[in-house]
Amino acid sequence: EDQVTQSPEALRLQEGESSSLNCSYTVSGLRGLFWYRQDPGKGPEFLFTLYSAGEEKEKERLKATLTKKESFLHITAPKPEDSATYLCAVQGTTDSWGKFQFGAGTQVVVTP
Amino acid sequence: DVKVTQSSRYLVKRTGEKVFLECVQDMDHENMFWYRQDPGLGLRLIYFSYDVKMKEKGDIPEGYSVSREKKERFSLILESASTNQTSMYLCASSFPTGGEETQYFGPGTRLLVL
């Protein structure tokens, strides 16, 4: 069964203090790994899709990387508006295509 | 811009009531999904649909049913609401694009069952 574990559960950063979030996964064949951002009381907002080990994607202060067992979301020089819960999900190749396995998320708070 | 809307942001229902949650997407997506989100448990898939009138069970279908009569609309039905169905319900839609299955989410419905 596909599994996703995110760490840490919560992260408190000063503005400008760079850090990384971890998403460890086990899946029988990776179809895709997805990162989302979720603000309180709202639905998740899509950030990135990664398909193969070594792949990297960037968007403003966020950079996602992928290895065979984990993905990192690097936040460079964060601002208070980067405060949110970041969710990771995987889609495997052997399970029913529609099934995405989500992690519990990392709650990030950036203080001025 | 992809838009997924859900019929209610907040709902309060009594135990035993039949509850309908509606989701509409405006981008002609083939695939639609219903999740529930609970603290510490992440998103869990209830049902998904890959075409009109087609559906598949997710990880936690017990106590729920779904209906997809039109491509743009996917309904989640709680046949007899129970307190353990108090949760945040999220609808999503997606389409296969060269193998990419990006899901776009609605704003969520927070359901309280008393």
Residue for token pair 């209610």: B8
Give the rounded percent of residues in chain A with a pLDDT score beyond 70.
96
List chain A residues with CB under 8 Å of B108: 41-43
CB contact under 8 A, A98 and B58: yes
Q: Is the pLDDT confidence value at B2 over 70?
A: no
CB contact under 8 A, A100 and B31: no
CB contact under 8 A, B59 and A89: no
Please give the Cα distance from B92 to B85 (Å, whole number). Answer: 19
A52-102 residue pLDDT tens: 999 999 999 999 999 999 999 999 999 999 999 999 999 887 666 667 889
Q: Is the pLDDT confidence value at A15 over 90?
A: yes
